[in-house]
Amino acid sequence: MASMATFDPQLDLVLERTIDVPVHLVWKAWTTPELLKKWFTPAPWQTVDCEIDLRPGGAFRTVMQSPDGAKFPNVGCYLAVVPNQNLVWTSALGPGYRPLPGPTESTGTATLSFNFTVSLELTADGNRTKYVARAMHGDAAACQQHAAMGFAEGWGAALDQLIAVATTIA
């Protein structure tokens, strides 16, 4: 599967690994709300709610909860859905491709001061999966802020949790 856009090291953060999980189970973990809630947020944080309308224009909504109980809702829109290969979503748009207010505005749904788009690319390699998650940002400052928030550590820990969950599903 070809990438959506050319990699830009000033604007993009990437997590790439080959994992010992078949691609169909990685897909299932990403596209089943009850499974996603088990792994999506790095512990000790939790994902306490999730809505997935798995189609271009459909909602991707999560509610993350901090260890002290504060809740952080996030809403986005799927841009591309290719089963077992590619998911693309953005925090800049809501369901139905409706533009969302800027993330610094008081919407009750934005938790970041920037929007980003994620391209998740999955490639089957026997019973393994080449997993490439790319967070694309509109400017270098947003990319740097996301990196400073712990993108590599957080997304890596979440992937480890996905692997643990995937080994329990069929």
The better pLDDT of the pair 46, 100 is held by 46
Residue type, 26: V
User: Could you tell me the pLDDT band of residue 3, with boundaries at 50, 70 and 90?
Assistant: low
What does pLDDT average to over the chain? 91
The better pLDDT of the pair 5, 127 is held by 127
Tell the residue number behind the tokens 């139905």, with chain if given. Answer: 96
Q: At the topology level of CATH, where does 12-166 sit?
A: Alpha-D-Glucose-1,6-Bisphosphate; Chain A, domain 4 (3.30.530)
The pLDDT of residue 109 is 42
Percent over 70 (pLDDT), the chain: 91
- Residue ranges of alpha helices (H) inside 69-132 are none
Percent over 90 (pLDDT), the chain: 86
Arithmetic mean of pLDDT, 130-151: 95
Residue 30 has phi, psi (to 5 degrees) of -80, -20
C-alpha–C-alpha distance, residues 94 and 78, integer Å: 9
The better pLDDT of the pair 6, 69 is held by 69
The pLDDT of residue 107 is 40
The pLDDT of residue 125 is 95
Please answer whether residues 22 and 129 qualify as being in contact, where contact means their C-beta atoms are separated by less than 8 angstroms: yes
Global model pTM greater than 0.95: no
Per-residue pLDDT tens over the stretch 78-110:
999 999 999 999 999 999 999 988 765 434 444
